[in-house]
Amino acid sequence: MSLLSVENLTVHFRTRRGFSGKSAAVVYAVDGVSFSIEAGETLALVGESGSGKTTVAEAVLQLNTPTAGTICLDGVDLAKLSRRDRLAMKHRVQIVFQDPYSSLDPRMTVHDLVAEPLHAGKRMRPADVDSRVLSLLEMVGLGTQHLWRRPHEFSGGQCQRIAVARALAVDPDLVVLDEPTSALDVSVQARILVLLQELKQELGLAYLLIGHDLAVVESVADKVAVMYSGRLVEAGDAAEVFHRPRHPYTAALLASVPSPDPEVRSQLGVLQGDVPSSVNPPEGCRFHPRCAYRMPICETTMPEMRLVDGGTTRACHLPDDALPSAGAGDGGSDWIESSQLFIDEGVEASADSAAAAAAVLDGRPIDPLGLLNEKDRR
Amino acid sequence: MSTASPAASRFLLDDWRVRHQSSLEESRHSVRIFFRDRLAAVGLIYIALMIAVAIFAPVVAPYPGQGRGATDLRARFDSPGAQHVFGTDNLGRDVLSRVVYGTRIALVMPAIVALGVVLIGVPLGGIAGYYGGWLDEVVMRVTDIFLAFPGLILAMALVAFLGPGLRNIAIALVVTWWPWYARLVRGMAISLRERPFVKAARTMGVRDSRIVLRHILPNSLGPVIVQMTLDVGAVILEVAALSFIGLGAAPPTPDWGLMISEGRLYVFEAWWMVVFPGLAIFALVLAFNFVGDGLRDVLDPRSRR
Amino acid sequence: MSDLLEITDVSLEFRSLRGVVKALDGVTLSVREGEILGLVGESGCGKTVTGLAVLGLLPKPQARVTRGQIAFRGDDLLAKTDEEMLHVRGKVISMVFQDPLASLNPVFTIGEQIGCVVATHQRASKKEARQATRRALAAVGLPATDSLLGSYPHQLSGGMRQRACMAMAISCGASLLIADEPTTALDVTIQAQILRLLFDLRDELGMAQILITHNVGVAAQTTDRVAVMYAGTVVEQGPTQDVMKRPHHPYTVALYECLPHGKKAGELITIPGSVPDLIDPPAGCRFHPRCTKALEICSSSKPLPTQIAPDHWVACHLAVQQLDSCGSAVSL
């Protein structure tokens, strides 16, 4: 039985308008997302803005109410629990936020910050609380000299450690890491990643890593799930997904990541247009307006997640054998070249400036033109 | 990293100074920033002086009896001189002594009003902002109603209803003033509840009531304190105004507003009856305004670097 | 290729409540015509300060250039008055910042904001300004339509806003664009689009650029030459290929070892210690307290930039030593 099992999670927000509270629009933040995390495993939820990954994390943390779908911890459906039991479950899932400073109450001392989750549970003697706080701080590489200081006296990296110590205070089984290092410098990021890995092994933690930095994700994650506009497009083992992406979006995403090796030419600008609006998502496959391989069926029918070889699942109408077998992590040039075959098949994007602009202002993205820009060749 | 033994850690944790070293350092830093503003420093010193004057009024006032109300009809309308530094009023009372005794009222009234406003407005605003929903709607509509009235008029109406006197003025002012603070704190609460550290607290299972008490309210206090300091001046003026029109203190109370009211009939013959209480009001309000500005600098994070 | 911008031995200080922050110490850089120079480093290294100093955008009484020269086509920028700098900013050298939403005025339309820049620098009529605006928009890949000209910043996506800011920057024919972390606030795929745009500006408009970034990948892919900064000093600079494939400064090497690209978390080698406080920076080489290869001399004598290969400069005693002993540079 998986530690965390999410089935068909759907979260729609209604935007309230006016005195009577009648809803004006629905934000389709998350639509039918399913995944599972085993104990001691790291699953990375990858996506850009508007993908819904943060909403999924908040749902798992019980910070919002799902519109549909189930979230099960050790097989227990959270929605079916009484309020009391649900509160008791809260300690099993904890979170570390992206911005180290705003996730810590600036008026509290480190001791009080780390001790706070302990006070939320059953009563502990002050001496026990103190010693637990000290041992937690030691676990993250801080000490007694830091106990009575306030967050603003620390660097970003140290604040993140405090946040990690706090998250571990109640002995969680799963820690949600919401882009834990994106606000940190590279060298500090490395320290935090090493720390997280050590803690994972020592304490047998499972991690749900929300991220958009694919390099970080690749080095830390066991499994990856890629989200786009509220839906999952591809999921599987990290190594598989990163080296053999099977969804055009995943491939484009990987190709867009600039490699620190100047001799490897990253395919910059592979994906045109912008993320679709969550209020008015495109019909059919949500990625189709930006996809260079779209077929008529993509515009009408939402693709389902299907298992392909190698153990990954993906949601795409492209036939399995159409995808190349070359790796895409370092530029994907082979992938791009072999996909030339698809260019003639119904890829007609509007080149009319006016229509494009109109599309932009309606919230729809500019239709992609030139996914294979001549200037890609250096 | 040393593994502190239980006994050693208990000793460390019991040491008050170590526990609060961060707060102490911050306070020292805040004081330094505050005193960078010369006017704020002057204002603070003046207020401290006034507090001392109020406490030691019987000692400071040259004619303490007259300060409380005793008259001396032989010395009516004496102009300011050696005997009476601020002159005497229509009943021969030493204006200086009355101003000195009036300091007590001028300081105590705003203090009581401030206390009342904060006790009512801040929690209401915090709860309305954090919980949202119908609670927020109700509190906001109530504040809307109160804020639709011109403050002084509403206060006047309330005092007229309750009857004149300083106690009723205090009640009336608390009633007219709390909505501003409720609004202020509500705004802060709304922005604070979306902050990661509040979300973190909810994730940890901390009860909502505790979140409001420990996270929302303490982080909202900054603007409240600044606003309060600046409003003190307004309270002093409103008390004076209400007393001026006869709805406040009754004679022979040495309330500054009342003194101006009593003196306005004689303003051409005995200008000192109006001018000195007026200056006292002016100086104290100005001092509070300077202090408020100084506090704003202290609390504005940008000026702390 | 001639030098467009030359920053020579610039040292800069900030007066703050706690003391004097020695933000830059002997920074020497140059940008050539039509090239993209990358300024790479972590927070506090002084890369943004350098960019702002070129345009005289640092707060006047607090920030002071204590030494050095900044020359644009031979013209000393530091000696210019505020009035004279007004003619430089936007017209000769322009700048684009990290957060496009904060860089655009929310109450004016895109057309109005770009048009304002054009009108200010070129004394153009309304019609001419509009045409120039459309040209600028087209150059950055935005549709030059009336609806876009009439839209407000909040109606556009992050990527489009950044393009609009770049349109403003190029609208008056500036020769040098300083881009301060232009893609940090954007999604990866949008970032890729904007980086491609920087190439286009270089190739089609011949615009030289200084790209300030903390992202090593961005610098590796987008720049022709790169300068690595640490704690207010330039530790290494040269052609991107050289510096990044054959780094000579221990900090550059350490930076690469920290990167998670292609490594498992357990394999990351971290840099001990933390960034120094610039009010009291370390004596000698500012990196020496954290350097695993520090020599005795590093703690007392500041290393000067030494050429170890054509166009490749390193400020490191160890690199110089190895150069002397081997006769040619040895990459660490």
Report the candidate in C154, C156, C134 with the shortest Cα–Cα distance to residue C144: C134
How does residue A36 score in pLDDT terms, banded at 50, 70 and 90? very high
Residues of chain A with pLDDT > 70, as a percent, come to 82
Backbone angles phi, psi at C57, to 5 degrees: -100, 10
Same domain (yes/no): C168, C195? no
What pLDDT, on the 0 to 100 scale, is given for residue B2? 45
The verdict on C260 touching A (C-beta cutoff 8 Å) is: yes
- Using pLDDT thresholds of 50, 70 and 90, give the confidence band for residue A162: very high
Kindly report, residue by residue over C125-157, the tens digit of the pLDDT: 888 888 999 999 999 988 888 889 999 999 888
Say how many CB pairs under 8 Å bridge A and B.
Answer: 92
pLDDT tens readout for residues A241-285: 888 888 889 888 888 888 888 888 777 777 877 888 888 888 888
| H, E, C per residue of C27-81 | EEEEEECCCEEEEECCCCCCHHHHHHHHCCCCCCCCEEEEEEEEEECCEECCCCC
**Closest Cα in chain A, distance from residue B206 (Å):** 5
Mean pLDDT of B275-295: 91
The residue whose two tokens read 């005092």 is B159
Chain center to CA of B107: 8
> What's the pLDDT tens digit per position in C283-313?
999 999 999 888 889 999 999 999 988 889 9
Cα dihedral B60, B62, B64, B66 sign: negative
Q: Is residue C332 part of a domain?
A: no
Report yes or no: C35 and C177 within 8 Å, Cβ to Cβ.
no
Chain C contact set for B304 (CB, 8 A): 17
pLDDT at position B75: 80
Q: Is residue C79 domain-shared with residue C145, that is, in the same domain?
A: no
pLDDT for res A308 = 84
Would you call C147 and A358 a contact, using CB atoms and an 8 Å cutoff? Answer: yes
For residues A86 and A122, the answer to whether their CB atoms sit within 8 Å is no
Residue C327 pLDDT > 80: no
Q: Are C171 and C118 in contact (CB under 8 A)?
A: yes
Q: Given CA atoms A150, A156, A160, A163 in this order, what sign does their dihedral have?
A: positive
Based on the number of CB atoms within 10 Å of its own CB, is A304 exposed (0-12), middle (13-18) or buried (19 or more)? exposed
> What confidence score (pLDDT) does residue B34 get?
85
Burial B47-74 (b: 16+ CB within 10 A, else e): beebeebbeebeebbebbebbbeebbee
C140/C206 same-domain check: no
Please state, in angstroms and rounded to a whole number, the distance separating the CA atoms of residues B84 and B78. Answer: 8
Residue B252, preceding peptide bond in cis (omega within 30° of 0): yes
Contact B204 A117 (CB under 8 A): yes
Listed residues C153, C173, C193: the one ending a domain: C173
Q: What's the ipTM?
A: 0.84
**A residues 37-76 lying closer than 8 A (beta carbon) to B:** 58, 61-63
Per-residue confidence (pLDDT) for residue B152, from 0 to 100: 84
- Its domain, for residue C116, covers 102-173
Q: How far is B210 from chain A (nearest CA, A)?
A: 9
C131 and C272 part of one domain: no
Domains of chain B: 49-304 (1.10.3720.10)
Q: Please check whether residue B127 is in contact with residue B212, taking contact to mean a CB–CB distance below 8 angstroms.
A: yes
CB contacts of C275 in chain A (<8 Å) are 155, 185
Contact B67, B57 (CB under 8 A): yes
Q: What is the pLDDT of residues A347-373, one digit of tens each?
A: 223 233 333 333 333 333 322 222 333
The domain boundary, picked from C138, C173, C208, lies at C173
3-state secondary structure of C179: strand
- Give the separation between CA C19 and CA C27, rounded to whole angstroms: 21
The strand pairing partners of C75, in sequence order, are C72
Q: Could you tell me the CATH number of the domain that includes residue C178?
A: 3.40.50.300
> Which of B25, B17, B18, B21 lies closest to B304 in space, CA to CA?
B25
Same domain? C114 vs C198? no
Q: Once rounded to an integer, what is the mean pLDDT over residues C241-263?
A: 89
- Kindly tell me if the per-residue pLDDT of B283 is higher than 90: yes
Please tell me whether residues C239 and C114 are part of one structural domain.
no
Burial (Cβ within 10 Å: 0-12, 13-18, ≥19) of residue B209: exposed
Interface B:C, Cβ pairs < 8 A: 4
Least CB–CB distance from B196: residue in A94, A102, A127: A102
- Mutate: best of A148, A176, A179, partner B, most B CBs <10 A: A148
**Last residue in a domain, options C122, C140, C173:** C173
Of C155, C197, C245, the CB nearest to A263: C245
Task: Please answer yes or no on whether A149 and B18 come within 8 Å at the CB atom.
Answer: no
Mean pLDDT of B107-129: 92
Residue C117 shares a structural domain with residue C221: no
* Residue C182 maps to a domain: yes
Both C268 and C204 in one domain: the answer is yes
Domain total of chain C = 2
Same domain assignment for residues C190 and C70: yes
Q: How many residues does chain A have?
A: 378
Chain B hits for A143, CB-CB cut-off 8 Å, are 1-2
3-state helix, strand, coil in chain B (%, to 5): 80, 0, 20
φ and ψ at residue C81, rounded to 5 degrees: -80, 170
C272 to chain A, any CB pair closer than 8 A? The answer is no
Q: Chain A: residue nearest C160 by CA?
A: A274
Structure-token pair, residue C225:
């030459």
Residue C133 inside a domain? The answer is yes
Give which of B204, B215, B216 to mutate to test A binding, by max A Cβ within 10 Å.
Answer: B204
Distance separating alpha carbons of residues C271 and C251, to the nearest angstrom: 9
What average pLDDT does the segment C164-173 reach? 91
**Residues of C with Cβ-Cβ distance to B305 under 8 angstroms:** 16-18
Residues in chain C: 332
A87 touches chain B (CB under 8 A): yes
Q: How many alpha carbons fall within 13 Å on the CB side of residue A340? A: 6
Supply the CATH classification number for the domain A4-16+25-221: 3.40.50.300
Q: Which two tokens stand for residue A109?
A: 């001392």
Digit-coded pLDDT (tens) for B15-62: 777 777 778 887 888 888 888 888 999 999 999 999 999 999 888 888
Is residue C269 domain-shared with residue C137, that is, in the same domain?
A: no
Does the residue C122 lie in any domain? yes
Average pLDDT in the B71-76 region? 82
Helix (H) or strand (E) holding C82: helix C82-88
Chain C residues with at least one Cβ partner in B under 8 Å: 16-18
Domain boundaries, chain A: 4-16+25-221, 253-376
Q: Over 60: is that where the pLDDT of A158 sits?
A: yes
How far from chain centre, in Å, is Cα A134?
Answer: 32
Strands A206-211 and A174-178, sheet pairing: parallel
**A42: exposed, middle or buried (C-beta count within 10 Å: 0-12, 13-18, 19+)?**
buried
Asked if A262's CB is within 8 angstroms of C220's CB, the reply is yes
Subunit contact A104:B197, Cβ cutoff 8 A: yes
Could you tell me which chain C residue has the CA closest to the CA of A357? C143
Given a cut of 70, whether residue B301 has pLDDT beyond it is: no
Regarding whether C74 and C144 lie in a shared domain, the answer is no
Q: Do C127 and C263 belong together in one domain?
A: no
CB contact under 8 A, A148 and B199: no
In chain A, the percentage of residues whose pLDDT exceeds 90 is: 28
